[in-house]
Structure 1
């Protein structure tokens, strides 16, 4: 009896010791989530009202500060369902049904739309961070998991994990589906993948990603079946559109309200690159700020000489020098077109898109294969929408980037701290802009 009692005590002690690090891991994720969300909330509710509103829309101390732009469409769907616009177009069908459906459930419990949408997105985002942490931690250790979580939580576009948008819910569903498939948990893969394809159109890239990995790793029929079943959310929405509107592809046809063509927008990206290098131009093609290209050249030349003679300055001075030059370049380029809402951050947009593609290629042998393929397929989709607007927000929703960047920063933590500081600055400015209903992405 004594031996049995001692065995039970030993087992209980082992269970407690096993759970302690798990609890610390969860507390770290909560700390990342809570601190970044507090920065957003304080900025939007308390700091933003102190600034003049460029378009006459001042921030207010209310839940409504978290609703703007696409939030209006989700409110319409959650309140009245999918309805034609005044001109008969089915623009609302461009927004997939899972998020407004969940909002509607909470509204039926008595919560206003803004409260329901904000709470759902924020807690879904927290759950997504927790799942990402444990996914990375399982194979790459605590340091990489912490950096990957910090990147996803503090990236400036994580603002959309707090306001009434689908980022939090989509990240939760897509990360859960990717992790489940990576762990060969096919029932969970189907469940979460189906929810992902019912949340956002980019969720369909999970299907070819899973099929390719199933073939590459010779996983068997269960993997192929799960890969196809992930499209259940997408298929059900097709059926709904066919039954209600007689057009199974209504959500694709609705895109004409935002774009006139598809494919890679060469002109848009070239225009943005010119804005970074020479600044904005007038209608006649002349420079609005002739000093811009001169200052840009100084930053680039200074960067070259700093790298060329890095051995003479020492690692710390070189690091601080590059960080200062980056801040100067960001300040210079972000004001290149102050009156153009679609290019408010051209430097960050180009870096996130094309730098993200390079990061995926650089990390292709380091992160799980399914994350690599999903990342490239998602980029292929968003780069061929015929637009440059909003593509960086969709790129942020590709969790493969946070995964890869987390592994990179785990090797260079000093750069990581500097990058997190920059992220915090930009995140605060994004909060101000969104609360004043200025376009971000």
Structure 2
């Protein structure tokens, strides 16, 4: 972002960045800057407004700015330090819970997955990952005071933090926990409750942060059209989807060939051997990515994450399992996939499920880490050039 991107020519609709902190400042970063410097604004007119972004991250940034640092430096440092804290915390938690191998592979996934770029730029991903993980661990260990504290901070950071509340209530009911578990679960919602009160006092609309989301929702012919589009972009190609007819014959043909080849390889995997099977699947996966692009990565983190949550539910435990599906359910409830992959990456249960999978099949871990590293570099340069990532 600081060395390679400034040397490249400006792409269409992008820029050539300078060697400066500005490379970490784009897209949602602009909204956080407005909040940290000017405060919130909102009118119920169906347009974009800062009220859509939850307050804890910009509040911390404004506190750091009071020490004399400019917004770009303060915002970058807060998210990076929070992301580092999340990595160290999750490693320690998983090491004592699932062992060293799973802990290491969970961190490998979190650090190398291309969407980890949002742990390095001026976004709230690092902070939410840290706070939600601390809340989940506290509930798992019956530390209910910490559940209330960390949970209230998490629900004041991201709207997806709301998924913590139903997850805790379900687990408390299933495990027949004491009344204090229910009280702590509800207390964790205080972050979003106080934000709602703020919205009512200043804008006379307690749900202003919900209503403003309509501005980010494209008009669709039917509910879930965006999800169908994402899957069809993988299967038949973007051009064919846009035209409603097969104008690019090669995309669906190659997709069928790759799927058929995968079935044959799986059928004869014992004759090929474990090592050869993994490497051949890796090559086919890379070809499929060249064919489908980012929609494939987004499908893997969302739908692949959901499958692994279910498959490893006994190893994850009830708290992580229920929280993972409550979070995915909240994402799917919007009916649109925009930024869904980023929200799914921020679900620590999904990262742990991938960590368990990679710890059991380390060859997949080596191949995917190399591939993810390539994508992470590409995503980083795109962000520095002010191009949309994901």
Same fold (TM over 0.5): yes
1:403 equivalent in alignment to 2:352: yes
Matches within 5 A, 1:334-353: 334=293, 345-353=294-302
Other structure's SS at 2:238 match: coil
The 2-side partners of 1:321 and 1:90 are apart by 46
Partner of 1:144: 102
The 2-side partners of 1:192 and 1:219 are apart by 19
1:187 equivalent in alignment to 2:136: no
Partner of 2:261: 302
Partner of 1:439: 388
Partner of 1:126: 84
Gaps of 5+ in 1: 1-43, 335-344
Offset of residue 264 of structure 1:
8.8
Other structure's SS at 2:40 match: coil
TM-score, normalised by the number of residues in structure 2: 0.95
Partner of 1:135: 93
Other structure's SS at 1:281 match: helix
Matches within 5 A, 1:284-433: 284-334=243-293, 345-433=294-382
Partner of 1:54: 12
Q: Is the 8 A contact 2:46 2:215 kept in 1?
A: no
Seen in structure 2, the aligned counterparts of structure 1 residues 263 and 213 have a Cα distance that, compared at 3 Å, is farther
The 1-side partners of 2:207 and 2:44 are apart by 20
Seen in structure 2, the aligned counterparts of structure 1 residues 56 and 155 have a Cα distance that, compared at 3 Å, is closer
Partner of 2:132: 174
Offset of residue 211 of structure 1:
1.1
Offset of residue 113 of structure 1:
0.8
Seen in structure 2, the aligned counterparts of structure 1 residues 212 and 87 have a Cα distance that, compared at 3 Å, is closer
Seen in structure 2, the aligned counterparts of structure 1 residues 285 and 356 have a Cα distance that, compared at 3 Å, is same
The count of residues paired between Structure 1 and Structure 2 equals 388
2:171 to 205, 213, 217: 213
TM-score, normalised by the number of residues in structure 1: 0.84
After superposition, give the CA deviation of every residue in 1:44-72 in whole Å (9 maximum; x if it has no partner).
11122333322141222110110111111
Larger Rg: 1
2:54 to 71, 83, 96: 96
Q: Is the 8 A contact 2:358 2:364 kept in 1?
A: yes
Offset of residue 435 of structure 1:
1.1
Seen in structure 2, the aligned counterparts of structure 1 residues 89 and 319 have a Cα distance that, compared at 3 Å, is closer
Seen in structure 2, the aligned counterparts of structure 1 residues 159 and 284 have a Cα distance that, compared at 3 Å, is closer
The 2-side partners of 1:85 and 1:214 are apart by 39
Offset of residue 278 of structure 1:
2.0
After superposition, give the CA deviation of every residue in 1:149-198 in whole Å (9 maximum; x if it has no partner).
11111111111001000000000100000001101111111111010000
Q: Is the 8 A contact 2:94 2:102 kept in 1?
A: yes
1:228 to 161, 165, 186: 186
After superposition, give the CA deviation of every residue in 1:323-353 in whole Å (9 maximum; x if it has no partner).
111111101111xxxxxxxxxx111111211
Other structure's SS at 2:91 match: helix
Seen in structure 2, the aligned counterparts of structure 1 residues 227 and 357 have a Cα distance that, compared at 3 Å, is same
Seen in structure 2, the aligned counterparts of structure 1 residues 298 and 89 have a Cα distance that, compared at 3 Å, is closer
The 2-side partners of 1:418 and 1:162 are apart by 23
Q: Is the 8 A contact 2:225 2:336 kept in 1?
A: no
The 2-side partners of 1:76 and 1:88 are apart by 19
After superposition, give the CA deviation of every residue in 1:93-142 in whole Å (9 maximum; x if it has no partner).
11000000001011111111111001000000011111111111112111
Gaps of 5+ in 2: none
2:31 to 66, 70, 73: 73
Offset of residue 388 of structure 1:
1.3
After superposition, give the CA deviation of every residue in 1:198-234 in whole Å (9 maximum; x if it has no partner).
0011101111111111111122011111111001111
Other structure's SS at 2:171 match: helix
